[in-house]
Amino acid sequence: MGQRYPTHHFTTTPEYGRPEARLSSTQAEDTSLKTSMVKPSVQARRVSLDVLNTTYAHDLPFLVATTLAPPASSDSEVEGVAAVEKVIGYAYAFPWRASYRAYRHTVEISIYVDPAYQSVGAGSALMDALIAALRATRVRDPTNPNASTGDEGETEDPLELPDGTGRVREVLSIMSLDTEGRDGGYGLANFYSKWGFEQIGHMKRVGYKFGRWIDVLMLQVSL
């Protein structure tokens, strides 16, 4: 039998509620998300519950890629619904400088895929879904959650919609440059470029891991 490729199943916070409740029946422990379904390589990239809660509070997407298994029995309560077999990756957006009103139209994204599934389209499926979700996302002024409209149904801020919200306009990705990685460390940046991301910054020797000083790249795309 040939190789079995994963199905990319996505969950989002607005539709399903808090992401940690959707991923597994296993309760989150302390400040980390941990589920019995997640492979060890994904567990090593635990997502802080602070990040999850911030993402949820700002109505931003948190997506999960899984493989799917057939229902346990033919008399499943929901016909045709497959069961999650294992989580193989995730992608999410969170507000950039969340406490500042001026930056509410900008988000930063993060994506992770289990190395075993990095060549079967899981990352591309996650990114496609994340960008699509961000295009449909509306952000609200964090300093005025009950923003009202003007006399003629218009807000004072030209970036705002009549209901007091605005759309996501700019997306950032900030990543470590591992010079020993693929394409001299630019493999991930090249991946992002498929969605229009461009390098706008290169910070040198700002981090230390793997026993050496590392650079950080900043990428940006306009929606």
What is the b/e burial string over 26-38, where b = at least 16 CB atoms within 10 angstroms of the residue's CB? eebeeeebbbebb
Region 96-119 average pLDDT: 85
User: What is the fold of 1-72+79-144?
Assistant: Aminopeptidase (3.40.630)
CB 85 within 8 A of CB 67: yes
Token pair, residue 49, equals 């519950």
What pLDDT is recorded for position 170?
Answer: 94
How many other C-beta atoms can be found within 10 angstroms of the C-beta atom of residue 121?
15
Please name the helix (run of DSSP H) or strand (run of DSSP E) that holds residue 221, with its range, or none: strand 212-222
Categorize the per-residue pLDDT at 112 as very low, low, confident or very high, splitting at 50, 70 and 90.
confident
Token pair, residue 214, equals 């590392």
Length of the chain: 223
Token pair, residue 31, equals 């400040």
Region 8-37 average pLDDT: 33
For the chain, domain boundaries: 1-72+79-144, 169-223
What pLDDT is recorded for position 157?
Answer: 63
Q: List pLDDT tens digits, range 126-173.
A: 898 899 889 988 877 666 655 543 444 445 566 667 666 688 999 999
Categorize the per-residue pLDDT at 1 as very low, low, confident or very high, splitting at 50, 70 and 90.
very low
CA 110, CA 21: separation in Å to the nearest integer? 20
pTM of the model: 0.69
Residue 13 pLDDT > 60: no
Residue 212 pLDDT > 80: yes
CA 166, CA 42: separation in Å to the nearest integer? 34
Region 199-216 average pLDDT: 91
What pLDDT is recorded for position 201?
Answer: 96
Of 6 and 174, the structure prediction assigns the larger pLDDT to: 174
Task: Out of 11-15, 53-57, 89-93, 172-176, pick the least confident.
Answer: 11-15
Query: Cβ contacts of residue 5 below 8 Å, gap of 6+?
Result: 120, 121
